[in-house]
Amino acid sequence: MNIDRQNRLHPFYLVYVADNGDIVANHFNPKAILDDMRYLSKDKDKPISTLTKPFNIETQDGRDMSKYSDLLNQAIDSMISVKSEKDIDSLFTTGRTTALENDVNGLDDFELIDFLVVRGE
């Protein structure tokens, strides 16, 4: 799913999803996401307990990640949606089409490697 070689991290995908499910930055803009992550983690060498404690309570120490699983699904849905739009566009432009390449259906086509939850103090 590297349409026109626009995903610089392919075969990896990085998506910034807001707490409400809005896509802040899609997988075609990994540099902006990485820049934000670097800025937010600068000079932080250990977890911030005032932020990790509420997260651990909310998720029952990671046993209930349903909210974050839903956000992950929304991120994947956004990538599929962007691919579908690009596929349709490719049908009406000169050159080859991407409509028949790399069929991605959902969560089962990906493996979560890491995630970062961003919260303010």
20 lies in some domain? yes
pLDDT > 60? residue 1: no
- DSSP-based three-state secondary structure for 23: strand
CA distances from 64 to 5, 57, 70 (A): 36, 10, 12
Tell me the average pLDDT of the chain: 79
> pLDDT-derived band of residue 105, with 50, 70 and 90 as boundaries?
low
Residue span of the structural domain in which 68 resides: 3-109
Report how many domains make up the chain: 1
pLDDT digit string (tens) for 32-86? 899 998 998 899 999 889 999 999 999 999 999 999 999 998 888 887 776 666 6
Reading the block at residue 117, the tokens are: 């939850």
Q: What is the pLDDT of residue 3?
A: 47
Q: What pTM, to 2 d.p., does this model score?
A: 0.68
C-alpha distances (whole Å) from 53 to each of 19, 47, 63, 66 are 18, 10, 14, 18
More confident residue, 58 or 99: 58
Q: Is residue 120 part of a domain?
A: no
26 falls within a domain: yes
- Model confidence band, residue 115 (pLDDT cutoffs 50, 70, 90): confident
Which range, 10-14, 24-28, 64-68, has the best average confidence (pLDDT)? 64-68
